[in-house]
Amino acid sequence: MNPEFKPEKIFDLNRKRYFLNGEPDVFHCHHYTTLLTQLAEDAKAFYGPEILFSAAEEAFYIALEKYFQSHHITSEQDRKEISEQYFSYIGLGLIEIDIHGKVEIKHSHLDEGWIKKWGLWDKPVNYISQGFIAAAFSAITGNKPGTFKIQEIRSIVCGAQTSKFTVEKTLEN
């Protein structure tokens, strides 16, 4: 039986905020994410890309882990499938996770938005997806955030058909 991601969206009228499965949610917009990514690029001297990666890892880890716990999803395979569905549901694109350390993004809203806005780029810029991948691997395998190093080895923003990532465990938990 394949698990199915069950989104529960709530709008808090008093606070003017959306929540997805009890966690704050911002509707995905490639205009916003490309501008945020460009800001991170501009702030390299201040660790902008690393900050964007870390923020994405932390936020996605909390959301995924909470979802897994509340829906009693314990197997790595089921957690992997829910993570893939979650990535698509929140508008980041289409991802395939191999829990043995490889990930492929077949469609990336951020990369495609970047290309439409500024054209191809000479290096990968998808720090948000890298943070998601790190969070997903931690939540899937029962590790803490900061456990996995993610490297984008092929990128849509650089002209490739798909983006590919390697995932390497860096800490023992």
Asked whether residue 120 is assigned to any structural domain, the reply reads yes
Q: What's the CA gap between 112 and 63, in Å, rounded? A: 25
Is position 38 within any domain?
A: yes
Tokens linked to 173: 């938990």
- The set of residues, in sequence order, having a beta carbon less than 8 Å from that of 111 and lying 6+ positions away, is 93, 105, 125, 126, 155, 156, 157, 163
Which stretches within the chain are classed as H helix?
A: 30-42, 48-70, 76-89, 109-118, 127-141
Domain boundaries, position 139: 27-169
Q: Is the pLDDT of residue 113 over 70?
A: yes
Which pLDDT score is estimated for 37?
Answer: 87
Q: Give me the number of domains the chain comprises.
A: 1
Residue type, 68: F
Return the DSSP state at 75: S
Q: What is the pLDDT of residue 35?
A: 81
Q: What pLDDT, in 10s, does the model give residues 139-167?
A: 999 999 999 999 999 999 999 999 999 99
135 closest CA partner among 79, 93, 91: 79
CATH classification of the domain holding 117: 3.30.1380
Confidence label for 11 from pLDDT (cuts 50, 70 and 90): confident
Is residue 13 in a domain? Answer: no
3-state secondary structure (DSSP) of residue 91? coil
pTM confidence score? 0.87
Residue 156 in domain: yes
For residue 15, being part of any structural domain is answered with no
- Determine, yes or no, domain membership for 1: no
Q: How many CB atoms lie within 10 A of CB 143?
A: 17
Please indicate, yes or no, if residue 122 is contained in any of the structural domains: yes
Structural domain includes residue 32: yes
